[in-house]
Amino acid sequence: MRHVLKAAALALLSLSAPAVADACKGRNLFDTMPADRKARIENAVRDVPFREGLLFQAEKGDHRITLVGTYHFGDARHAPMVDRLRPFITDAAALYVEAGPREESRLTEALKSDPSLMVDPDGPTLPERLTPEEWQQLSTAMADRGSPAVITSRLRPWYVSMMLGISPCMLDAMQSTGGKTGGLDHLLVHQAQKAETPIRALEPWDTIFDLYADLTPAQELDMIRAALPSAAYADDYAVTLTDAYFSGNVWQIWEFGRFDAYDNSGLPKSEVDEQMSLAQQRLMDDRNRKWIKVLIDGADKARANGRGIVAAFGALHLPGQAGVLNLLQDQGYAIRRLDG
């Protein structure tokens, strides 16, 4: 159980992107994707506000926020962005991240001290809730990720669905580095610590548990079913999405997942859309709306000292009607892309 708890603490840091590392070898699925699916994805992203870009500045009078969309796992390609942001962080009144060192420590301790956060000790097991074929597929995929069937059978569905999005080789790599993901978030936190720039959290440490608290049993199982098809080729999936991230095609990441689920999940299109809508609302839109107040308040406090703030969070929080950039624009902020 200790191994699973450690893996859980690592996995909970991956809310916004699957994992990839130099040790994980895969292929970019866009290279072999049928032309009609590429066209459908391109059409789906065409009208999404701020669909491209990773680095932006939001200004309203003398209120200034520098925003960067992050990828939560290590990659050598992070280095130029760290260099670009170093002076911004040094000059900032604070660096705002989804979870700072204090929040990550509290989350890890909570997972260690209360296994019921991830394990359901009383309800029906997953093999009782899934079809035999689904359970066989799931238990195999989770065994590849270090979770024996006897433990997987009692894991909460939200956690299982998250684990399925992470490559087994990435979990191995994180274990070998003491659980350090090396993601852009952590690299920027390190820069803030060196510069003695205060680090602030955008949300409480236990937010993850509230996101899934009121899902119906059917919604819980559909989360697993939607995640299962890509689990078998997690390295390819991770490389595909990571390449899209570093090219700045942020919303393409989201729509790739939608169309992959259409073709491979076995769920009706309407159920895939329902899952995607629910995930977008819970994981992004609702959180974005809460973050706006935190960011605006932070920028207002920084303004008093003639300074701005830096905000670094998962890249999928940037675009969309309810994305952070559009919400700031609705509040009168002028948005300027810095990496285009």
What is the pTM (predicted TM-score) of this model?
Answer: 0.88
Q: How many domains is the chain partitioned into structurally?
A: 1
Q: pLDDT tens-digit profile of 290-320? A: 999 999 999 999 999 999 999 999 999 999 9
Q: pLDDT tens-digit profile of 208-220? A: 888 888 888 988 8
Residue 182 scores a pLDDT above 80: no
Q: pLDDT tens-digit profile of 10-36? A: 334 333 334 444 556 788 999 999 999
Confidence at residue 310, expressed as pLDDT on a 0 to 100 scale: 98
- Please name the residue ranges forming H helices in 196-320: 207-211, 217-231, 234-246, 250-264, 269-279, 286-303
Residue 162 scores a pLDDT above 80: yes
Confidence at residue 3, expressed as pLDDT on a 0 to 100 scale: 33
Residue 232 scores a pLDDT above 50: yes
Distance of alpha carbon 94 from alpha carbon 140, whole angstroms: 44
HSE value, Cβ hemisphere, 13 Å, CA-based, for 24: 28
CB 251 within 8 A of CB 319: yes
At which residue do the structure tokens 């090219």 appear? 247
Confidence at residue 129, expressed as pLDDT on a 0 to 100 scale: 96
Residue 195 scores a pLDDT above 50: yes
Q: pLDDT tens-digit profile of 36-69? A: 999 999 999 999 999 999 999 999 999 999 999 9
Count of other CB atoms within 10 angstroms of residue 217 = 11
Q: Which domain holds residue 32?
A: 2-337
The token pair that represents 324 in the structure block: 């952070």
CB 233 within 8 A of CB 26: yes
At which residue do the structure tokens 């803030």 appear? 192
Give the N- to C-terminal CA distance of the chain in Å, as an integer.
Answer: 46
